[in-house]
Amino acid sequence: MAPTLPALLCLGLSVGLRTQVQAGIHPKPNIWAEPGSVVPWGSPVTIWCQGPPNAKSFSLNKEGTSAPWNTQPPVEPWDKANFSILNVTEQEAGRYHCSHFIGVNWSEPSEPLELLVAEQKPAGRLRDRPCLSVWPGPSVGPGETVTLLCQSGNRTDTFLLSKEGAAHRPLRLRSRDQDGWYQAEFSLSPVTAAHGGTYRCYRSLSTDPYLLSQPSEPLALAVSDYTVPNLIRMGLAASVLLLLGILLCQAWHDRGGARDVARS
């Protein structure tokens, strides 16, 4: 008896799933760094790799190296592993990927994690920190456009802008030479409450893009309805309401006076 169409479909689906497992096709794991992907020279950092439950082990690889940088068993709840670096230097800066092992195969590598090391050495090549400023000001309203300007008087190929506590990687822009000043403009538009926070910028050279300068001074950006433009608008609206109230009061008073004249 020939198999029916549903039976053939089920058989094909089963064979397809079994073939994917045998071929080692697993979902890509997630990778991130704590406390963040920008690490001061000499500070510790932990790289996390998370995959599906019951993964047997996790491997961390750095681009440019032939062998896995490290392999770790999972930690409870058995779906992730951590890789600790106690003293980050220029040698640890670079792009990392991780993979997890299930069954008899390794998964596809994760998306890249860029580990950026900020110099703290007084004689470093990038010891001079850039300047960070904001236009139109550090307090803006939702929907407005904000420009964060990063500048340096020293040769710079790239500027990076990072937000304190942000999960995403720092924004990166090529610098422009403006009358002897290297600079880059980071535009945030339209601004939302999520853009509020503390920002710093760094500079780097194309010869070593994962080695950063010391950070700029922190810049706090506040997103609030009570900005100067909004206060002006609120003041104008209050003035209009006050004027309307005065006119209504005068009209009411004039009508009362007219009634008194009519009675007399």
The residue ranges of the chain whose pLDDT is under 70 are 1-26, 121-125, 226-264
Are the C-beta atoms of residues 157 and 174 closer than 8 Å to each other? yes
**The pLDDT value given to residue 251:** 58
- Measured CA to CA, the distance from residue 195 to residue 197 in angstroms comes to 6
Q: Give me the amino acid identity at 28.
A: K
Tens digit of each residue's pLDDT (9 = 90 or more) over 112-121 = 999 999 987 6
Query: HEC states along 143-159?
Result: CCCEEEEEEECCCCCEE
**The pLDDT value given to residue 161:** 97
Strand partners, 116: 38
**The pLDDT value given to residue 237:** 46
Map residue 6 onto helix, strand or coil.
Answer: helix
Are the C-beta atoms of residues 158 and 173 closer than 8 Å to each other? yes
- Measured CA to CA, the distance from residue 29 to residue 109 in angstroms comes to 7
Query: Residue 264 CA to chain centroid, in angstroms?
Result: 78
Alpha helices in 23-139 (DSSP H): none
Q: Domains, the chain, ranges and CATH?
A: 26-118 (2.60.40.10), 131-223 (2.60.40.10)
**The pLDDT value given to residue 25:** 60
**The pLDDT value given to residue 186:** 97
